[in-house]
């Protein structure tokens, strides 16, 4: 049974939501572990973005233990990116070989997780 246009559009919105959540979690991850970079964000009158972000992050950490270790957040974002990659149907290029896909995927995964060692040394 063929999917209607509305079903395809709904699936596309759901897949885009996965990417948006992954990017938001990546930003929050960097805000939590590299807080010194974001201390210069100015306040707008009585509105303080740093206080709001800290409140959101503390609640996320208390509820889901998302920021106990940098690896936890990276695994969650990696899982969301894998779901996004599976859900988004891009153009198929016949010149790309399976070996190239595995090579690029393994190199990207190694670089993605290896930077924890370089960025978050205590």
3-state secondary structure the chain: CCCCHHHHHHHHHHHHHHHHHHHHHHHHHHHHHCHHHHCCCCCECCECHHHHHHHHHHHHHHHHCCCCCHHHHHHHHHHHHHHHHHHCCCCCCCCCCHHHHHHHHHHHHHHHHHHHHHHCCC
Q: How many residues make up the chain in this entry?
A: 122
- Give the pTM: 0.84
Per-residue pLDDT reduced to its tens digit, 17-43: 999 999 999 999 989 988 888 888 888
Tell me what pLDDT residue 122 has: 56
More confident residue, 81 or 40: 81
Per-residue pLDDT reduced to its tens digit, 7-16: 888 888 999 9
């Amino acid at each position: 049974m063929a999917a209607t246009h509305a079903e395809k559009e709904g699936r596309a919105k759901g897949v885009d939501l996965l990417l948006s959540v992954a990017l938001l979690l990546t930003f929050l991850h960097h805000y939590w572990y590299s807080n010194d970079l974001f201390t210069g964000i100015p306040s707008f009158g009585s509105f303080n973005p740093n206080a709001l972000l800290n409140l959101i992050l503390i609640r996320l950490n208390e509820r889901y233990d998302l920021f106990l270790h940098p690896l936890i957040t990276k695994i969650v974002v990696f899982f969301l990116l894998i779901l996004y990659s599976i859900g988004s149907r891009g153009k198929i290029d016949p010149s790309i070989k399976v070996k190239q896909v595995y090579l690029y995927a393994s190199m990207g995964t190694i670089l993605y997780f290896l930077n924890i060692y370089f960025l978050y040394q205590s």
